[in-house]
Structure 1
Amino acid sequence: MLSFNDRSLSSWLKSFEDLVDKGFVQYKQIMENLSFLVETDETPDKYIINAHLHDYSMKDIQLEVFDQAVRIVAQRNESTQIENSLNKARQFNGQVKRIERVIPLPFRIRQEDLRATFGDGVLKISIPKKALPNYIDIETEEEKS
């Protein structure tokens, strides 16, 4: 049977903690490449969404409006070309990087009510708080004629 003294157990625990810490650092790096920071704020008259898309230009970004949500999609093409002048060989590499987030909202929205601006790598979306009726006005038979 193996026995651990306090020193070897402490050493083993330290090694295990280091392994877990490295895993979390790698996880954070992976998640940063798969998503982006979104901050939401609320004023008395509107909701504000700030999406941090520093690696993207305005032409790389799309907004899609759903009934009670906004989807932000950022996509860009990256390509590199390597030339070897000795043997006249060329190598092309290309990839597409796409990230997206869906931001749910507590009320129904219409596309024409949204305002979006982009500057300094931040997409700012402003949505006015305006109650959309969930009912239909009923007319009398006489009003139709």
Structure 2
Amino acid sequence: MSQEKKNSLQPFREGPFGEILQSLDSLFQDTFRQLSAARFIPINQYETQSEYVIEAEIPGIKKEQISLDVYHNYIKISVQSEEILEQKDDKNQLIKHNSRYERAERVVALPFGVNESEVNAELRDGILTIRIPNKRKRIQIK
């Protein structure tokens, strides 16, 4: 924005609507920052003879905020977080309202198809552990 345009907006920021304009500006800036910095869910996958294991790092998340969807040979991990903070100042009749909404998803390809009933999941210490019985059959070569 040019300096001339910024100066022409200055009286509005200092006048009776100044706090409202600053709050709106803050809202749009925070929203843009949150949308542009999507949360990434790091995962670790490994396989044992009896099970296929996926470990997803999701610190600070409660199990109620997590959903798992099984699609034949894919698992989608979804995390949704919402926080609302409101401050009231009765003396100046000022209300400050901040809200934050965050959503992250990660789709994990599995080496074989599974049914939802075969999948077990547990959340402990910020690690979501998903266990699936290993259906791979190793063929002996003669």
Q: Same fold, TM exceeding 0.5? A: yes
The aligned length equals 103
Q: Verify: 1:130 aligned to 2:130, yes or no.
A: no
Q: How does 1:106-125 map to 2 (within 5 A)?
A: 106-125=111-130
- Report the Cα distance in structure 2 between the residues aligned to 1:103 and 1:31, rounded to whole angstroms: 23
Aligned residue number for residue 55 of structure 1: 60
Runs of 4+ with deviation above 4 angstroms: 30-33
CA gap 1:35/1:97 in 2 versus in 1, 3 angstroms: same
Of structures 1 and 2, the larger Rg is shown by 1
- Report the Cα distance in structure 2 between the residues aligned to 1:60 and 1:41, rounded to whole angstroms: 25
Q: Verify: 1:105 aligned to 2:125, yes or no.
A: no
Q: Verify: 1:88 aligned to 2:93, yes or no.
A: yes
CA gap 1:44/1:32 in 2 versus in 1, 3 angstroms: farther
Aligned residue number for residue 17 of structure 1: none
Query: How far did residue 96 of structure 1 move?
Result: 1.3
Aligned residue number for residue 29 of structure 2: none
Structure 2 length as normaliser, TM-score? 0.66
Structure 1 length as normaliser, TM-score? 0.65
- Report the Cα distance in structure 2 between the residues aligned to 1:125 and 1:32, rounded to whole angstroms: 26
What is the CA deviation profile of residues 15-55 of structure 1, one whole-angstrom value per residue up to 9, with x for unaligned ones? xxxxxxxxxxxxxxx99852111110110111100011102
Q: What is the root-mean-square deviation of aligned Cα atoms in Å?
A: 2.1
Aligned residue number for residue 82 of structure 2: 77
Partner SS state of residue 118, structure 1: strand
Query: How far did residue 106 of structure 1 move?
Result: 1.1
Identity, in percent, stands at 27
Partner SS state of residue 117, structure 2: helix
Q: Gapped runs of 5+ residues in structure 1?
A: 1-29, 132-145
What is the CA deviation profile of residues 114-136 of structure 1, one whole-angstrom value per residue up to 9, with x for unaligned ones? 011111011100000126xxxxx
